[in-house]
Amino acid sequence: MEHLNKKKWNLFKIKDIFNVSGTTTTHPSKLIQNEQSKTPRITCSSLNNGLDDTYSNNATENGNVITIDSATVGYISYQVSDFIATDHVEKLSCKHKINRYLGLFLVTAIKNATLNKFNYGYKFSQERIKMQKILSPINDNGEPDYEYMKQYAMSVINKKINVYKKYILSVLEKIEFKEIPKLKEKEWKAFFIGGEQGIFQISSSSSGIDKNKLECSVDALKIPYVTRTDLNNGINDFISDIQKNKYKMDEGNVITIGLDTQTVFYQPYQFYAGQNIQVLRHENLNEFNAEFLVPLIKVQMKKFNWGGNGATLGRLFKTKLMLPIDNNENIDWGFMEQYTMNIIYKKIKQYLGFSGAPNEQYV
């Protein structure tokens, strides 16, 4: 396939490629939600493709369209399925026959043309959407080359799927599914998280570096910098492994808790940390039983909050976890490990079932 740099491009107004219109607003008071809820509700959010949740309301909008938030920063997304919408969700229906791959290419083209252009004070309104120009590859007739865009997006996704398959197959080679008791069949017991009678050795991180004091070398940005953020496993950035001598790197295979924010994550690799990060260590901890423990710790962290009731060391020592036990009433680390491996094994098998190469089923 011809590379992007080899193609001829031209500017087109969005209204030349799409029919631009508003959507029917489904008011929150009219929402219906139950076990059969399948209709996506698209909002102005920049998260989860604009998806709020699924409902049992009948769809008011057809899928295979691009949606744009006209209320905040002009977030753009492609909707495969029929959906309902909140107010200020604008709809772009392509004048050419569209599918998911062409839609994703065009979304990227619009995003590139409007990067940091729209905001609360200068909204991406319908009229501005219509007049906005985007760059598109063209065919010999000087028209948007829709077939090229579709095939290019399919090739990119196919490459990503192959990388993903290679990774999950490598994970599958390391784990084995085993029949174990169900959670409700296990005996459980309460344990303190830390302290003399507790599960973990808990201490502050060895570094505690303010971000403005980091040593950053562009050629060596490989060490995770863990902070109190709730995103990306607590990783705020990747930094150089060469920092001032007073800052010591923490070893991996630990659980981190961010004070004030009460964020909890498993850190498999060595890392530096920002301020107010507690580190939980145990000789039996590994990547699998840690994933069993992290959600349980997160539940206990809900009792703390920002301000005067944060997850201090003293409060952590007084906090208990309910954990599965063996016949000797000790923590059953092996059960937690196998339980997590079984979930991962099932999920990988499920993913392999539908992670095939792009095809025309979305046309």
Q: 337-363, pLDDT tens digit by residue?
A: 999 999 999 999 888 887 554 544 433
The answer regarding whether domain 183-346 maps to CATH 1.20.140.10 reads no
Residue at 262: amino acid letter: Q
Q: What is the pLDDT of residue 355?
A: 59
For the chain, list residues with pLDDT below 70: 215-220, 306-308, 310-311, 355-363
Q: 83-102, pLDDT tens digit by residue?
A: 999 999 999 999 999 999 99
Burial profile 14-38: b = 16 or more Cβ within 10 angstroms, e = fewer: bbebbebeebeebeeeebeeeeeee
Are 55 and 37 a contacting pair, CB within 8 Å? yes
Q: What is the pLDDT of residue 208?
A: 78
CATH topology of domain 4-145: Adenine-n6-DNA-methyltransferase TaqI; Chain A, domain 2 (3.90.220)
Alpha-carbon distances of 90 from 79, 106, 120, 239, 247, rounded to whole Å: 12, 15, 16, 40, 50
Q: What is the pLDDT of residue 361?
A: 42
User: What's the length of the chain?
Assistant: 363
Q: What is the pLDDT of residue 363?
A: 36
Q: 211-253, pLDDT tens digit by residue?
A: 777 766 666 678 898 988 888 998 988 887 777 777 888 899 9
Q: What is the pLDDT of residue 358?
A: 52
CATH 3.90.220.20 intervals, the chain: 4-145, 183-346
Q: Which of 312, 9, 242, 345 is nearest to 145 (CA)?
A: 9
Q: Token pair 């599918």 is at which residue?
A: 99
Alpha-carbon distances of 219 from 240, 270, 338, rounded to whole Å: 8, 18, 39
Alpha-carbon distances of 73 from 18, 116, 345, 354, rounded to whole Å: 20, 8, 40, 34
